């Protein structure tokens, strides 16, 4: 394989990697927004739950029953984490990190957008 073919292969690989990471961005943004909204709802519900004077006087389950917004927000947040939202919000960086690991064997790397970074070859003496 000559150097021209290798350069074309590298360009094609870079295009495909940047395209793939770029396609993940809209979904990642939506997952991040959902996580932020549910987290703020949970924090707001927790604050209302904690400042309620009745919370100290009744049992734990009764206090949760008296604060359905907090309870549902908590259940939703826990459900999202079990569904893997923590992986979905960082999916592009996971892909880029895995590519960096593989590309390191070939004296290359990539940035978070998928652009290739060619490193100089080490000199063997």
Position 3 scores a pLDDT of 79
What share of the chain in percent tops pLDDT 90? 72
Domain ranges of the chain: 15-118
**Using one digit for the tens of pLDDT, what is the confidence trace for 22-34?**
998 999 999 999 9
End-to-end CA distance of the chain: 26
Q: Is residue 19 classed exposed, middle or buried when 0-12, 13-18 and 19+ CB atoms within 10 A define those classes?
A: exposed
**Using one digit for the tens of pLDDT, what is the confidence trace for 28-79?**
999 999 999 999 999 999 999 999 999 889 999 999 999 999 999 999 999 9
Cβ atoms 104, 29 nearer than 8 A:
no
């Amino acid at each position: 394989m000559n150097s021209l073919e290798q350069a074309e292969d590298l360009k094609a690989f870079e295009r495909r990697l940047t395209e793939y990471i770029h396609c993940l961005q809209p979904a990642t943004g939506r997952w991040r927004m959902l996580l932020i909204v549910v987290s703020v709802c949970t924090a707001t519900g927790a604050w209302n739950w904690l400042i309620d004077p009745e919370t100290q006087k009744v049992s734990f389950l009764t206090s949760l029953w008296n604060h359905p917004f907090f309870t549902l927000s908590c259940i939703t947040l826990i459900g999202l984490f079990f569904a893997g939202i923590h992986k979905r919000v960082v999916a592009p960086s996971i892909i880029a990190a895995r590519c960096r690991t593989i590309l390191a064997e070939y004296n290359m790397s990539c940035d978070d957008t998928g652009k290739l970074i060619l490193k100089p070859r080490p000199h063997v003496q």
